[in-house]
Structure 1
Amino acid sequence: MGLDKFLREEVQDYISQHQHYDITKILFTKSPFADITIQELAQQLKGKKTAEKKFPFLDVAGIVFPPNLNLEQASSQATADYKSKLFAGEHLLDLTSGFGIDAFWLGKGFSEITLVERNTELLNIVKHNWHILSSKKTHYINGSLEDFLKTNNQQYSMVYLDPARRDEHNRKKFLLEDLSPNLLEVKDEILQFTSRLVVKLSPLMDISMLITQLPEIKEIYIIAVKNEVKELLLVIEKAYKGEVDLTCVNLESTDSEFNFCYSELKQNVYGYSSSDKYLYLPNHAVLKSGAFNLLSQRFSLHKLDVNTHFYTSANLYQDFPGRVLEVQMVDAKAISKNEKYNIISKNYPLTPEQIKKKYKIKDGGKQYLIFTQAQGKKVILKSN
């Protein structure tokens, strides 16, 4: 795909004027440009629209966007920006560049960047965009990771790796040995030319299994955005054999970070009780970490039930990593028909949809109704 044709003034004007149009409808129209298909224009419009929310730093004139799959697989600006504050050094190597979002932001802490990408068209797009956005010294290598490993003789401050998590049939993979590249096979080879390997993985991967299979892990970041866990970030250091530190972060929220050592997960729960004045709902990054008992110990909170990861206390802790509601227990008969509530159902036999139908209530409003269990009994809690 030649990029120059997208940079003509009349094409840039078209993209700017139509970026909020229905792309499906545009695909049924004829391209106004003889050398650009309507599908190519739709691709640029889709990229422009995606950039507005996912990576707004790219929502500028002259940026060229890749196919939709590359947009979907790219990190968001929010997660990339967070990661950029964690690392610094002389020379960053990204072995799986893709659309280059992570490398662009991580590179802010490095003097020099090398990108490796096997997709020629994608790498040309990244090179073009970076010439607009950055003056950072960057090397672009069009080739496979495997070929690079065979020929590389240079040392790097840090290597970044985002293995493909889908197979040739587009099925998701959740084991290290099923990823491409297989991290278990390439890890030792990579650590020959860097002291730090940082790996982005699916949030669905099992943390305890990762720690068992990769003994050099020093840190794990569980990164959520607006309470949706987006990724696990592993920091692997050559010859490291110490404790693993975990950080749970919920970006674009007011939640505090939650940090702990992996061995602390062995702690017993602080205790169990029925609901008190405040109900504590951990964010999803903390829940992914499995720190259910540790959370209760850290904040002196009682759990409602063994299988209910809600906590309670008479005291208010402002730095709790999640939502805190002031609640009271209510009888089912006290729920008024047609009232609006935000409904939460955890460890309860009915789903929110079934609850709405049974009690004839609607979604919305400022108050919460929480249907759950406390000490083996079904309870209904209402926020004040």
Structure 2
Amino acid sequence: MSKSIINILSPKVVREFIHTHMNDDPVTLVLQSKKYPDLPIREIAAQIQSRKKAQAKLPEWYEQDDIIFPHGISMEQCSSEETAKYKASLVQGNSVVDLTGGFGIDLYYLSQQFEQAIYIEQNKELVDLADHNFTVLEAENIDRVNTTAEQYLTIEETPADAYYIDPARRDESNQKVFQIEDCTPDLNLILPQLLDRKAQVLIKLSPLLDVRRALEVLPNVKELHVVSVKNECKELLFKIEPGYEGAVKRIAANLVNGNRSLFEFEEADEGMLPTFSQPLEFLYEPNASILKAGGFNAISNAFILNKLHRNSHLYTSNERRDNFPGRTFKIVAQTVVNKKKLKAYLPQGKANITVRNYPLTVKEIRKKTGIREGGDVYLFATTLIDSSLVVLVCEKV
């Protein structure tokens, strides 16, 4: 993305064309470029493709016709509006610095909680894009600096109250990396400088990262937030405060259409063993963020539920828990993976299948039984406390 691209996409006639052709196939538009000799069709097609993604991911920005979106990795990796707003609720003060500005989504929402915000980005093309979009959005309290995080920290005159870091998770060959030491900028070099500034630090890392190892590597972590959107894990957020040495509060957040489902616990809560039993009347499947945060026992004890097996992470009770942070089902029957036995419960030959601590995959079960995807019946293939392999036939409640 360059200033020339911004100029190419900014004219009114181009913006109107994009708006009119939003439902067109970008590839088809490129193939038909000769029909529009006076328009930059390739750039327009790329912008339409990015705007299609933004419609669900960044609805507030999408509504602004003059916003220009990047394409490729920058659009794929940028935060969603929901997760950016969630981050903005975690830190406070008068000034905030985003050391890895990127497309600028996170800092835009963070800046609404601070009097002054500073955007740091080494890629000049992204800086130009952020400058354009922040101007469109009238984000007047955001200063833009085109440099690296490391260089900025050497020239910063007044420490900020909070720093945000979203390290790049791709190597020089553009391959994804997931270990902290492989990310850029190097947190081992930057964190000591930020802690010396006595500032809050918020770090975003990949949901594929091992949580326990991250907590061993990162210093002074006060809170770990595992953030899901519609039950799909999107981000790990580590809130660091200088000098903090207490227990790490783990917050599993599931964001759905502006609503937040939160479950909080500490390592000590996880150390309390749950009770186990055979399946009772109701079955519970915790949100993905709870499982990623490692709240296997904590969720059982918090809601007074029995666990089916140490490694199954499914829970049961005779009385329904209305406020459970996850999916709740009524158990209709208990059987095994057998085509004839399952057929009695599936008049349409369809079911939604979930596997928890079971030797077969969903694909293998479908191949073995011929069960098609969909319908109102939910099958949970799992292992019980007595090590028996079963399928729980359920209906959602």
Give the direction of change, closer, same or farther, for the CA distance of 1:194–1:11 in structure 2 (3 Å limit). farther
Q: What is the CA deviation profile of residues 112-131 of structure 1, one whole-angstrom value per residue up to 9, with x for unaligned ones?
A: 11101111111111111111
Structure-1-length-normalised TM-score: 0.94
Moved more, 102-111 or 371-380: 371-380
> Does 1:379 pair with 2:382?
no
Q: Superposed, which structure 2 residues align to 1:216-235 within 5 Å?
A: 216-235=220-239
**How much does 1:335 deviate?**
2.5
Among 213, 219, 231, the alignment partner of 1:215 is 219
Secondary structure at 1:305 match in 2: coil
The answer to whether the 8 Å contact 1:224/1:249 transfers is: yes
Q: Which amino acid aligns with 1:20?
A: N
Secondary structure at 1:27 match in 2: helix
The answer to whether the 8 Å contact 1:98/1:122 transfers is: yes
Aligned counterpart, 2:358? 348
Structure 1 CA distance for aligned equivalents of residues 48 and 260 of structure 2: 34
Q: Which amino acid aligns with 1:28?
A: L
Q: Superposed, which structure 2 residues align to 1:88-237 within 5 Å?
A: 88-237=92-241
Structure-2-length-normalised TM-score: 0.91
Q: What is the CA deviation profile of residues 171-195 of structure 1, one whole-angstrom value per residue up to 9, with x for unaligned ones?
A: 2222221111111121011223352
Structure 2 CA distance for aligned equivalents of residues 180 and 12 of structure 1: 35
Aligned counterpart, 2:49? 46
Among 262, 272, 281, the alignment partner of 2:267 is 262
Aligned counterpart, 1:22? 25
Q: Which amino acid aligns with 2:266?
A: C
Query: Across the two proteins, how many residue pairs are aligned to each other?
Result: 382
Structure 2 CA distance for aligned equivalents of residues 357 and 209 of structure 1: 37
Aligned counterpart, 1:313? 317
Q: Which amino acid aligns with 1:79?
A: T
The answer to whether the 8 Å contact 1:329/1:379 transfers is: no
Secondary structure at 1:330 match in 2: strand
Aligned counterpart, 1:287? 291
Aligned counterpart, 1:330? 334
Give the direction of change, closer, same or farther, for the CA distance of 1:261–1:140 in structure 2 (3 Å limit). same
Q: Which amino acid aligns with 1:377?
A: S
The answer to whether the 8 Å contact 2:101/2:120 transfers is: yes
**How much does 1:67 deviate?**
2.8
Q: Superposed, which structure 2 residues align to 1:46-85 within 5 Å?
A: 46-59=49-62, 60-85=64-89
Identity of aligned residues (%): 35
Structure 2 CA distance for aligned equivalents of residues 211 and 361 of structure 1: 42
Q: Which amino acid aligns with 1:298?
A: A
The answer to whether the 8 Å contact 2:270/2:297 transfers is: yes
The answer to whether the 8 Å contact 1:156/1:194 transfers is: no
Q: What is the CA deviation profile of residues 152-181 of structure 1, one whole-angstrom value per residue up to 9, with x for unaligned ones?
A: 121211110000111011222222211111
Q: Which amino acid aligns with 1:138?
A: I
Q: What is the CA deviation profile of residues 327-370 of structure 1, one whole-angstrom value per residue up to 9, with x for unaligned ones?
A: 13333525236422211222223322332333333221122122
Q: Which amino acid aligns with 2:394?
A: S
Moved more, 175-184 or 158-167: 175-184
Q: Which amino acid aligns with 2:343?
A: I
Structure 2 CA distance for aligned equivalents of residues 326 and 70 of structure 1: 43
The answer to whether the 8 Å contact 1:256/1:320 transfers is: no
Structure 1 CA distance for aligned equivalents of residues 261 and 91 of structure 2: 20
Q: Superposed, which structure 2 residues align to 1:362-373 within 5 Å?
A: 362-373=372-383
The runs of at least 4 consecutive aligned structure 1 residues that moved more than 6 Å come to none
Structure 2 CA distance for aligned equivalents of residues 374 and 353 of structure 1: 21
Q: Show structure 2 runs of 5+ residues with no match.
A: none
Give the direction of change, closer, same or farther, for the CA distance of 1:263–1:170 in structure 2 (3 Å limit). farther
Secondary structure at 1:353 match in 2: helix
**How much does 1:33 deviate?**
5.5
Secondary structure at 1:312 match in 2: strand
The answer to whether the 8 Å contact 2:108/2:139 transfers is: no
